[in-house]
Structure 1
Amino acid sequence: MKYIGAVMLLSIGMQAQAQFGVIQDKDGYTNVREGAGISRKIADKVQDGEVVYTWEQEGEWCNINYHRKNEIESGFVHRSRIKMINTFEKIKVRQQTETNVVFQQDSVTVMFTTRPFVEKDHQVHHGKSEEGFSFVEKIDGNDFYGCDGGLPTREYNTFTIQIGNRAVVVPEKAIRDLYQPNPELTEVFYDRKNDRLYITASNSDGAGGYEVLFRFDHGVYTKRAIYYGF
């Protein structure tokens, strides 16, 4: 428990500066600039509704990460164009342990459990580094998140989401390559105006640490975003 507490304190400190946001711009997109300032060169554009990961601010400008063609890019966006995920309605934690958690508020319920990772239940492919060291390269044929070369110890098990009378399905592809989940570092937010649910988590720790966001629009899973906040 002392270890979990230390991880939580570290994550809380990082989240004070780094967090998920969503682009909100009536023009349908906003410009990404190379530096903090209206005079800086436009490097790219991000679409309205796109999920980004924000770092420190420089004046009125946010340093962000965003996805482009399976790569993580960075740049600066004016803070008025980003709605921070944690400013939406936060769904309260009702039960929580090291292995599972229940969130519930009004018509929204989110529950998930985790389980031990059992190597014999998976196809684990090992690679070798240039120095000749063996490492875990793929699990079940996929790249994976949560470990830096070693085997994971835990994985997601069940996910249950209810919004009103709608049972929301979390597809296997959304969670199957994600390991070392942290129920204690998971939060749920609901954008009632747009009927959009967000689940965010800081999973694993150290070199294997990652930040993940799941998004559900009108009761349907639509996307996930993964960044490296550690």
Structure 2
Amino acid sequence: MKKLYLIGLTLLFSASAASNTFYNYDISGYGIINDSDGHVNLRKLPDLKSKIIDKIDNGTLVYCYNEGGRVDDFCYSQTKKGLGYIHTSRILVLEDKFKYKALSSLHVLYNKKNKIYIRYNENNYTSICINDRLNCISQEKIKNIKNININSHVAYFDKKSGNIYLTASNGTDGNTHNIVWTIKPDNSITQWVYTFDF
């Protein structure tokens, strides 16, 4: 009886754990790798027997192309290590979006704890700062970024890591230039730029 109870609890936990993964979503979007092995396999084809291109560590941000890219339980995934297929049950959906308001030459994205200030001139950045307006993304990282749609910014908060992810694009249908900034709790900021032709 105890064994059946434990099996039932395990199945219930597995079902609830998968509920916020791309396994149950048909939308495209950013997600965080979450696998009991500590990493997930990036595969060449949507098949568990397919060649492994690379291993993607837990906590890594990836983009899941479900619409037009999903095959069975795999989604075509954009990662810093390249494109490939990842099982959808291993990607947690980023759902905690910041709210947004636009002012003259300034956009603010905010949640209960954080604010992101994006200043621009026409369609070029002048500054991107977090919270106190002193912790800013360096000018080196934003000065050559042109033609980004200033209205395309979306920010997410990952409660587990405490990371903020700020995204933007200059996309048209089928061809997008994307930027992701990761702001960690220690205020370090990294930038990921990628182009995708679908």
TM-score in terms of structure 2 length: 0.73
Kindly provide the amino acid, as one letter, of the partner of residue 191 in structure 2. Answer: R
Q: CA deviation at 1:94?
A: 2.6
Aligned partners of 1:109 and 1:186: how far apart in 2? Answer: 13
Aligned partners of 1:41 and 1:59: how far apart in 2? Answer: 17
Residue number in structure 2 paired with 1:122 = none
Tell me how many residue pairs correspond in the alignment.
Answer: 169
Q: Does 1:156 align with 2:125?
A: yes
Residue number in structure 2 paired with 1:61 = 74
Q: 1:167 to 1:83 in 2, by over 3 A?
A: farther
- Residue of structure 1 aligned with 2:160, choices 193, 203, 206: 193
Q: Point out which structure has higher relative CO (alpha carbons under 8 A, 6+ apart).
A: 1
Aligned partners of 2:163 and 2:124: how far apart in 1? Answer: 25
- Residue of structure 1 aligned with 2:109, choices 69, 91, 103: 103
Kindly provide the amino acid, as one letter, of the partner of residue 30 in structure 1. Answer: V
Greater displacement, 201-210 / 40-49: 201-210
**After superposition, what is the alpha-carbon deviation per residue over 1:102-131, rounded to whole angstroms, capped at 9, x for unaligned?**
122222111111114xxxxxxxxxxxxxxx
Aligned partners of 1:105 and 1:67: how far apart in 2? Answer: 27
Q: CA deviation at 1:49?
A: 2.3
Aligned partners of 2:112 and 2:27: how far apart in 1? Answer: 30
Q: 1:111 to 1:170 in 2, by over 3 A?
A: same
**After superposition, what is the alpha-carbon deviation per residue over 1:43-83, rounded to whole angstroms, capped at 9, x for unaligned?**
32122222222212111111112233xxxx22111111112
Alignment of 1:6-155 (within 5 A): 17-55=27-65, 56-68=69-81, 73-85=82-94, 87=95, 89-96=96-103, 99-116=105-122, 154-155=123-124
SS of residue matched to 1:220: coil
- In structure 2, runs of 5+ residues without a counterpart are 1-25
Residue number in structure 2 paired with 1:132 = none
Greater displacement, 73-82 / 166-175: 166-175
SS of residue matched to 1:218: coil
Aligned partners of 1:205 and 1:115: how far apart in 2? Answer: 22
Q: Percent identity of the aligned residues?
A: 21
RMSD (CA atoms) = 2.6
CA contact (8 A) 2:175 2:196 kept: no
Aligned partners of 2:108 and 2:92: how far apart in 1? Answer: 26
Residue number in structure 2 paired with 1:220 = 187
Residue number in structure 2 paired with 1:3 = none
Q: CA deviation at 1:166?
A: 9.2
Aligned partners of 1:194 and 1:43: how far apart in 2? Answer: 26
